[in-house]
């Protein structure tokens, strides 16, 4: 048993656990005071492999795009600079998209970070709390003169990812093991990720839809959100976007 405080022991033990080439902490010894370098090395390798395997399962589209070998090598770089901060493994990899955007070997694939962001949002939506999606009847029951002041309660699973690239198309094409055709990566696509019932869906938002939804997610009333979207995109179709967000299950309730 370690003689130091348990928390201090754990912190010291984990300090260089993910750093290859670092020796074990001096206070870590084997049975009967024997050396523990080999044991510590095996433990370090098991932790690294476990985290890398977790990332490969969380980001299948990203992994398929860059290839298994490259992804695992990149993941090893990632875990050295981004150790876990939660006991829940599902929380790991939350900032992998940001890491990819600054990873020099992928500098020419500027769209890949957005694909990874959609994958992370998909995972968060999958594990989000359950809630009944808002029904259109609840909205049509509101008096017309009250609609502009109506605020919406986001569904726990709803996520929004904006991209200057065809991130949704690339994500969808690589999510499953099937042939991928030509994609114009320069076409901007904004994604709405939702799970109103049991299945996560990822859909491309229409023009102005992301600005509109983000405003509603931020708590602004419908009238303000519509004005914000129209300011960014004069072609914004309010009726079509309201129908689309209800169909997607982006919200769970309304507030007057």
Give the model's pLDDT for residue 107: 96
Model confidence pLDDT, tens digit, residues 45-70: 677 888 999 999 999 999 999 999 99
Same domain flag for 167 and 101: no
Average predicted confidence (pLDDT) for the chain: 87
Cβ-based burial of 177 (10 A; exposed 0-12, middle 13-18, buried ≥19): exposed
Q: Is the pLDDT at 43 greater than 80, yes or no?
A: no
- Token pair in block for residue 246: 């209800």
Q: Using CA atoms, how far apart are residues 72 and 67, in angstroms rounded to an integer?
A: 9
Q: Could you tell me the end-to-end alpha-carbon distance of the chain, in angstroms, rounded to an integer?
A: 60
Task: Please indicate whether residue 45 or residue 134 has the higher confidence score (pLDDT).
Answer: 134
- Contact in structure between 183 and 170 (CB atoms under 8 Å): yes
**Cβ contact 214:118 at 8 Å:** no
Count of beta carbons in the 10 Å neighbourhood of residue 175: 16
Regarding whether 72 and 158 lie in a shared domain, the answer is: no
Give mean pLDDT, residues 92-117: 97
Query: In terms of residues, how long is the chain?
Result: 256
CATH number of the domain within which 159 lies: 3.90.930
Is the residue at 115 inside a domain?
no
CA distance 22 to 24: 7
252 and 163 housed in the same domain: yes
DSSP string, 19-51: STTPPPPTT---GGG---HHHHHHHHHHHHHHH
Q: Which domain holds residue 148?
A: 129-256
Burial category of 100 from C-beta neighbours within 10 Å (exposed 0-12, middle 13-18, buried 19 and up): buried
Classify residue 123: in a domain, yes or no.
no
Q: Do residues 253 and 173 both lie within one domain? A: yes
Residues 134, 188 within the same domain? yes
What CA–CA distance (Å, rounded) separates 140 from 147? 9
In a domain, 228, yes or no: yes
Residue 119 lies inside a defined structural domain of this protein: no
How far, in Å, CA of 172 to CA of 204, rounded? 11
Degrees (nearest 5) of the Cα angle 67, 69, 75?
95
- Whether residues 180 and 246 fall in one domain: yes
Instruction: Report d(CA 23, CA 38) in Å as an integer.
Output: 10
* Residue 214 scores a pLDDT above 60: yes
More confident residue, 80 or 32: 80
Q: Would you say residue 114 lies in a domain?
A: no
Q: Give the pLDDT of residue 1.
A: 46
- Within 10 angstroms of residue 74's Cβ, the number of other Cβ atoms is 21
Burial of 234 (0-12, 13-18, 19+ CB in 10 A): exposed
145-172 pLDDT per residue, tens: 999 999 999 999 999 999 999 999 999 9
Number of domains forming the structure of the chain: 2
């Amino acid at each position: 048993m370690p003689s130091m405080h348990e928390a201090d022991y754990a912190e010291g033990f984990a300090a260089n656990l993910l750093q290859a080439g670092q020796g074990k902490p001096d206070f870590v010894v084997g049975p009967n005071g024997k050396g523990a370098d080999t044991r510590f090395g095996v433990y370090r390798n098991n932790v690294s492999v476990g985290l890398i395997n977790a990332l490969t399962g969380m980001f299948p589209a990203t992994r398929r795009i860059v290839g298994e070998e490259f992804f695992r090598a990149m993941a090893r770089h990632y875990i050295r600079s981004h150790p876990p901060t939660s006991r829940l493994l599902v929380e790991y990899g939350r900032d992998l998209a940001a890491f990819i955007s600054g990873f020099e070997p992928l500098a020419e694939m500027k769209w890949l970070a957005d694909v990874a962001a959609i994958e992370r949002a998909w995972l968060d939506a999958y594990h989000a709390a359950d809630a009944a999606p808002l029904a259109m009847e609840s909205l049509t029951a509101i008096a017309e003169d009250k609609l502009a002041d109506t605020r919406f309660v986001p569904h726990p699973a709803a996520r929004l990812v904006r991209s200057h690239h065809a991130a949704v198309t690339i994500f969808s094409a690589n999510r499953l093991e099937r042939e991928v055709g030509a994609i114009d990566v320069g076409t901007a696509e904004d994604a709405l990720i939702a799970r109103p019932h049991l299945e996560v869906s990822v859909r491309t938002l229409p023009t102005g839809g992301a600005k509109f939804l983000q405003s509603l997610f931020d708590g602004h009333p419908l009238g303000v959100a519509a004005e914000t979207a129209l300011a960014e995109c004069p072609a914004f179709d309010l009726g079509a976007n309201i129908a689309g967000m209800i169909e997607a299950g982006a919200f769970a309730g309304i507030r007057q």
